[in-house]
């Protein structure tokens, strides 16, 4: 016969420190449905640089720049919040001193016992340092993308993507190379060599390679690159892909080859004259 086991029910105040923990971790502000501030914690005041008397009853818009306020998304966001939806956004806030700070916010409605929205609460985290670091990193990536030929491979040498500069240099479209192996660009004899297989094994293990390379484009013409192969590690510390960044030096190599040929021809004529 089955017996019933009673399950103890915790009292409602089993987590009495949750509001205090939220206050300690986030900048918290509450607004009425017209967007006027009704409560702000110490973290919020510290973030914005105001004291409580300066912000109470003031509109949410006082903390944002004109470009954010003029965007149609701003008004639509308040419509959604008053309709009971939650939002997660990253916005540039403007402090009392005029400094711009980037804040990651979770914004949501507070409802009464009848399910009606009565307040809007936002929990924010200052992510200015992270945002600026990412912007700086993106700027460097964009600079490389615009000036260099870039192609990415998995650890087996299969092509993941390539940028415009690489595709133009090689004469392919992106759809023609994605999923194909790197060996499509090299001499078949080299592709079948142990040296070539060792090259990819070393990259997969985390080794960097920098060299001058001869490759073959779609039409079979020679393309010369000054290139570096750099392994990229994932969150677990293991190599997840290989990025090749290169300069197309075909014109320089062609010029040097022509110069060498001319010198050799001139030396040959000189030898004949001396003879």
Instruction: Classify residue 61: in a domain, yes or no.
Output: yes
Q: Supply the CATH number for residue 245's domain.
A: 3.30.450.20
Q: Are 242 and 229 in contact (CB under 8 A)?
A: yes
On whether both 91 and 190 belong to a single domain, the answer is no
- List, as one string, the DSSP characters of 6-53: --PPPPTTS-TTHHHHHHHHSEEEEE-TTSBEEEE-HHHHHHHT--HH
Q: Determine the Cα angle at 170 with ends 165 and 172, to 5°.
A: 90
On whether both 96 and 188 belong to a single domain, the answer is no
On whether both 121 and 172 belong to a single domain, the answer is no
* Residue 23, burial from CB neighbour count under 10 angstroms (0-12, 13-18, 19+): middle
Expressed as residue numbers, the domain containing 206 is: 146-257
**Whether the predicted model's global pTM rises above the 0.95 cut:** no
On whether both 124 and 151 belong to a single domain, the answer is no
Count the domains in the chain. 2
On whether both 219 and 160 belong to a single domain, the answer is yes
On whether both 220 and 123 belong to a single domain, the answer is no
Please tell me the number of Cα atoms within 13 Å of 62 on its side-chain side. 15
Instruction: Classify residue 154: in a domain, yes or no.
Output: yes
Q: Which helix (H) or strand (E) holds 244?
A: strand 239-248
Mean pLDDT by 10 residues, the chain (275 residues): 47 62 88 94 94 94 91 90 92 93 93 92 93 90 91 96 96 96 95 95 94 91 93 93 93 68 53 51
Q: What pLDDT does residue 7 have?
A: 46
């Amino acid at each position: 016969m089955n017996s019933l086991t009673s399950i103890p029910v915790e009292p409602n105040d089993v987590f009495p420190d949750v509001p205090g923990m939220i206050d300690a971790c986030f900048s918290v502000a509450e607004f009425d449905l017209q967007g006027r501030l009704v409560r702000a914690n110490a973290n919020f005041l510290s973030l914005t640089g105001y004291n409580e008397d300066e912000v109470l009853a003031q509109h949410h818009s006082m903390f944002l720049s004109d470009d954010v306020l003029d965007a149609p998304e701003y008004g639509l966001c308040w419509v959604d919040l008053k309709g009971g939806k939650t939002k997660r956004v990253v916005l540039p806030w403007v402090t009392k001193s005029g400094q711009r700070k980037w804040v990651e916010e979770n914004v949501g409605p507070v409802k009464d016992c009848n399910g009606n929205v009565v307040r809007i609460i936002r929990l924010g985290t200052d992510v200015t340092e992270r945002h600026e670091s990412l912007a700086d990193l993106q700027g460097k990536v964009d600079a490389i993308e615009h000036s260099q030929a870039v192609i990415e491979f998995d650890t087996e040498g299969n092509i993941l993507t390539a940028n415009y500069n690489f595709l133009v240099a090689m004469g392919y479209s992106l759809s023609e190379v994605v999923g194909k192996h790197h060996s499509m660009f090299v001499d078949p004899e080299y592709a079948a060599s142990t040296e070539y297989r060792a090259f990819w094994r070393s990259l997969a293990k985390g080794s960097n390679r920098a060299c001058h390379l001869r490759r073959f484009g779609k039409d079979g013409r020679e393309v010369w690159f000054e290139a570096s192969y750099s392994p990229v590690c994932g969150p677990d510390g293991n190599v997840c892909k290989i990025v090749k960044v290169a300069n197309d030096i075909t014109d320089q190599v062609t010029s040097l080859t022509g110069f060498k040929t001319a010198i050799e021809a001139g030396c040959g004529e000189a030898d004949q004259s001396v003879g």
